[in-house]
């Protein structure tokens, strides 16, 4: 089985009458999965309205960011798009529903554009990053240029930031990311 560079992580929950406990990150456990980056920044966002779309974002080298994303309130559809030059899966995407209820996380390595759409009101998303925010390395591609099925009702226009409406289309993007020999595969 091919291990995808983008991985869906399903932390185990241990529950009893009080509720549950889960280990959301362990360097040892993630290294065993082939995820061996060092996280240096945590981000937290609140999206008030359903169908708020954030993305598709990345930071360019030398400030690329691996990300570990989870939804701690509500439900989102989280997506990663391969933007590594010369990758046989360039432009392909994978996505997963992340919710407070399921506790799943998505690991998105450097070389992938990341975005999500909220599926209900008042969604909170947290994510770890392997590099700090660098405004001069901030980049992205348009949310509607990679053929993503965003799981929105037909005819729905997402709520977007003004920044996201100005991003280039994937077809017009000259990628600075290098293919590492590991193609994108379906999420396991």
Residues noted as catalytic: 57, 127
The three state secondary structure string of the chain is: CCCCCCEEECCCEEEECCEEEECCCCHHHHHHCCCCCCCCEEEEEEECCCCEEEEEEEECCCCCCCEEEEEEECEEEEEEEECEECCCCCCCEEEEEEECCCCCEEEECCCEEEEEEECCCCEEEEEEECCCCCHHHEEECCCCCCCCCCCCCCCCCCECCHHHHCCCCHHHCCCCEECCCCCCCCCC
Are 177 and 109 in contact by the 8 Å Cβ rule? The answer is no
């Amino acid at each position: 089985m091919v291990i995808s560079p983008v991985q869906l992580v399903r932390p185990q929950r241990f529950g009893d009458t009080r509720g549950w406990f889960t280990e959301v990150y362990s360097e040892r456990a993630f290294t065993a999965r082939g995820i061996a980056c060092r996280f240096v920044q945590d981000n937290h966002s609140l999206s008030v309205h359903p169908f708020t779309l954030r993305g598709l974002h990345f930071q360019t080298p030398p400030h690329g960011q691996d990300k570990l994303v989870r939804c701690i309130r509500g439900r989102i559809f989280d997506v990663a798009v391969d933007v590594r030059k010369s990758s046989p899966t360039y432009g392909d995407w994978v996505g997963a529903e992340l919710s407070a209820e399921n506790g799943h996380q998505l690991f998105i390595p450097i070389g992938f554009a990341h975005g999500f759409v909220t599926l209900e009101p008042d969604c909170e998303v947290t994510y770890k990053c392997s590099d700090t925010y660098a405004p001069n390395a901030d980049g992205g591609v348009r949310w509607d240029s990679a053929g993503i099925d965003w799981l929105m009702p037909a005819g729905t226009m997402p709520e977007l930031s003004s920044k996201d409406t100005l991003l280039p289309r994937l077809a017009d993007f000259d990628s600075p990311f290098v293919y590492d020999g590991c193609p994108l595969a379906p999420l396991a």
